[in-house]
Structure 1
Amino acid sequence: MRNGAQSAGADRTGTVGRVARRGIVGGALVLGLGACGLVGGDGNTGAICTDTKQAYQQYIDQVRSASAADPAPWKQATEQLAGRIDGLAKKAEKKELKKALTDESARLRTAAASVGTGDAAQLNAAMSGTPERIGNACS
């Protein structure tokens, strides 16, 4: 039983990492597809959506090599992404996009705190809804 508990704990850590990575990669790809078709429109919306996509792609690249057993790089990368998204929100001219990005930044900051302790649940929840929330605001 003791060995079973240790194995379950080790598996849980690995599973959290795999789930987080899968959610991040899938969410960012859908986000990218949703924002890619945007041409022109409201002020700087196209540029902000393109920059948002790039921020998420860079985040994916950064955490892809991070160990699930070491939450510090995940926290740092997530905090950095939140800061970039917040900066883009401040530049956005379209009211709906500004709000969506501001809300995303807040979700990411909350998720960064918990992912820093090894809990990826809030990060997964934040990332799973990102494509729809940002995609809708970019259209």
Structure 2
Amino acid sequence: MRYRVVRALAGGVVMLGVSGLLGACGALGGNSGQVCTDTKKAFQQYITQVRSVPAAEPAQWGQATQRLATRLDALAKEADDGALKKALQAESQRLRAAASTVGTGDASQLSAVMNDTPARIGKACA
């Protein structure tokens, strides 16, 4: 489970940058550029955390995923842009749902969330 999900997570963070999450930061109004930058950092920190979690301890994956969801909620509250706020809130909800299943050892939902996140958040940051 671990290596497949870590590859998906790492690929997702790379795609966050490629999809325009950081590339459009200067073009966005208000604080959206900073929120997008902070979002990318939150995902990078998450990847660092889950890389250190043993595959045999899925509850720790669930906890780390819950913390990421909480961070996205906080970023959504900071966002001035309505589309960005909505995208972050939606990803937070999806991560919360995935946290419950990854915590029991089923990484399929988390993998799906991470594969979709770059396009969903990247679109709001572009």
TM range (shorter): over 0.9
Matched, 1:80 2:80: no
Q: CA deviation at 1:65?
A: 1.4
Q: CA deviation at 1:32?
A: 2.4
From 82, 105, 110, the equivalent of 2:92 is: 105
Deviations 1:59-107 (A, max 9, x none): 0000011111110210110000000001001111111101100000000
Identical aligned residues as a percent: 56
Over 6 Å off, 4+ runs: none
Equivalent residue, structure 1, for 2:22: 36
Ranked by relative contact order (alpha carbons within 8 Å, sequence separation 6 or more), the top structure is 2
Task: Name the CA distance, whole Å, in 2 between partners of 1:97 and 1:36.
Answer: 13
RMSD: 0.9
Task: Name the CA distance, whole Å, in 1 between partners of 2:3 and 2:73.
Answer: 27
Name which one, 1 or 2, has greater alpha-carbon Rg: 1
Task: Name the CA distance, whole Å, in 2 between partners of 1:115 and 1:137.
Answer: 26
From 92, 96, 101, the equivalent of 1:114 is: 101
Task: Name the CA distance, whole Å, in 2 between partners of 1:112 and 1:37.
Answer: 29
Structure 2: runs of 5+ lacking an equivalent: none
From 11, 14, 17, the equivalent of 2:2 is: 17
Normalising by structure 1, report the TM-score: 0.86
SS in 1 for 2:21: helix
Task: Name the CA distance, whole Å, in 1 between partners of 2:71 and 2:40.
Answer: 11
Equivalent residue, structure 2, for 1:127: 114
Normalising by structure 2, report the TM-score: 0.95
Q: How does 1:32-71 map to 2 (within 5 A)?
A: 32-33=17-18, 34-38=20-24, 39-71=26-58
